[in-house]
């Protein structure tokens, strides 16, 4: 499976789950606001880290294939 596709799936799942959780928290207090902020920060870190790692991996693979095709020295 493509790294960017996998990262997109993971990011999409995290964002949808967080959106559902945030709306639920807005209308019905499920957890304390301190815990909600912690979960929000955690979701943000997961999304940024997943996309960042996927982009780094994609760049590595592209550079490797360009070296194999003799486009880079």
Pull the structure tokens for residue 19: 């959106």
| Cα end-to-end distance, the chain, whole Å | 28
| Average pLDDT over the chain, rounded to an integer | 89
The count of other CB atoms within 10 Å of the CB of residue 40 is: 14
Pull the structure tokens for residue 68: 């194999």
Taking the domains of the chain in order of start, what are their residue ranges? Answer: 3-68
Q: Is the pLDDT of residue 57 over 90?
A: no
CA–CA separation, 59 and 68 (whole Å): 14
pLDDT for 4-25, tens place per residue? 888 899 999 999 999 999 999 9
CA–CA separation, 73 and 70 (whole Å): 7
């Amino acid at each position: 499976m493509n790294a960017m596709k996998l990262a997109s799936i993971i990011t999409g799942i995290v964002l949808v789950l967080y959106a559902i959780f945030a709306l639920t928290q807005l209308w019905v207090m499920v957890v304390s606001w301190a815990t909600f902020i912690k979960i929000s920060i955690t979701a943000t870190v997961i999304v940024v880290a997943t996309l960042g790692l996927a982009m780094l991996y994609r760049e590595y693979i592209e550079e490797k294939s360009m070296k194999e095709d003799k486009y880079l020295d």
